[in-house]
Amino acid sequence: MFFIFSKVLDFLISPLVWVVFFLLMALRNKDGNRKWLVAATVLLLITTNPFLSNQAVALWEIPAYPYTQIDKPYEVGVLLGGGINMYDEELKRPMYSQSVDRILQTISLYKEGKIKKILVSGGSGLVLNQGFSESDVTKKIFMDAGIPESDIIIENKSRNTHENAVETSRLLKELGIQSAPLLITSAFHMRRSLACFSKAGLKVIPYPTDIKSGSSTLTPDKLIIPDPSCISGWRMLFKEWVGLIAYKMKGYV
């Protein structure tokens, strides 16, 4: 039930959904449509402003660091799902998400000898098409990249970050791995991930990837000109903030 609720909430927190809602209210309430139009305009201007979006994302993201700072290789690198949207059965290939950098950085870490094994955590995060297992698809990607099957550990039961932490902790205990693993996920997702793994009793070392923020430049194109792509940045932040609050209420963090 909580899984389905989280998916519905993910839809409702989208800024674009609220802009459309305000516009519909303006059409319905002709006498007071001005306030709804103002609300839609203000929300749209804020959520499409590149400077504001970049600043907000930068404040939330956990700072990344180069892999060269890793002096001694980790026994395991734990990769959280989210890099693949779905697997296209007709084309016989995965459809990658905007967070595919998680997967690419994990391959680099293994190739550079910074992690000895890879634990891929994540089953299906979809309400429908439950036959799709992200970790199983990711395993094939790693093997195609030349990583031996013996160095890939699969956890395909979890459907969200809380379950990622619980199932990963359980699996590492079963395998007798006691050293702290390197946790690989997007920088914007790292705060909630660290909280979940801490609650599950597993100490991890963060390795943020998929950096969304960049250097702030005070130029007209960044201060004045709206950029529709910024809406996805705010949606991502709202999802993490609301998710963290919901997890706190459920006792997941």
Secondary structure in 3-state letters for 166-191: HHHHHHHHHHCCCCCCEEEEEHHHHH
Question: Do both 77 and 202 map to the same domain?
Answer: yes
pLDDT above 90 for 218: no
Question: Between the CA atoms of 167, 169, 172 and 177, what dihedral angle is there, to the nearest 10 degrees?
Answer: 170
Q: Specify the pTM.
A: 0.88
pLDDT value for 8: 67
Calculate mean pLDDT across residues 22-28. Answer: 87
Bridge partner list, 93:
88
Phi, then psi, of 79 in degrees rounded to 5: -100, 120
Per-chain mean pLDDT for the chain: 90
Q: How far apart are CA 106 and CA 179, in angstroms?
A: 18
Q: What is the residue range of 78's domain?
A: 67-209
Q: Is residue 21 part of a domain?
A: yes
Question: Do both 75 and 198 map to the same domain?
Answer: yes
pLDDT tens-digit map of 59-98: 999 999 999 999 999 999 999 999 998 888 888 899 999 9
Residue whose structure tokens are 């779905």: 86
Q: Is there a contact between 53 and 47 (Cβ–Cβ < 8 Å)?
A: yes
Question: Do both 77 and 131 map to the same domain?
Answer: yes
Handedness of CA 167, 117, 83, 98 (dihedral sign): positive
Label residue 140 exposed, middle or buried (CB < 10 Å: 0-12, 13-18, 19+): middle
CATH number at 164 reads 3.40.50.620
Of all helices (H) and strands (E), which one includes residue 83? none
pLDDT tens-digit map of 239-250: 999 889 989 999
Q: Is residue 195 part of a domain?
A: yes
Question: Do both 134 and 78 map to the same domain?
Answer: yes
Question: Do both 46 and 142 map to the same domain?
Answer: no
Question: Do both 53 and 74 map to the same domain?
Answer: no
Q: Give the number of other CB atoms < 10 A from CB of residue 84.
A: 23
Q: Is there a contact between 193 and 240 (Cβ–Cβ < 8 Å)?
A: no
Tokens of 138: 């990711």
pLDDT above 70 for 16: yes
Tokens of 77: 């690198």
Number of domains in the chain: 2
Q: Is residue 171 part of a domain?
A: yes
Please state the length of the chain.
253
Question: Do both 192 and 131 map to the same domain?
Answer: yes
pLDDT value for 133: 86
Residue whose structure tokens are 């519909």: 24
Phi, then psi, of 107 in degrees rounded to 5: -60, -45
Question: Do both 12 and 47 map to the same domain?
Answer: yes
Tokens of 191: 């705060």
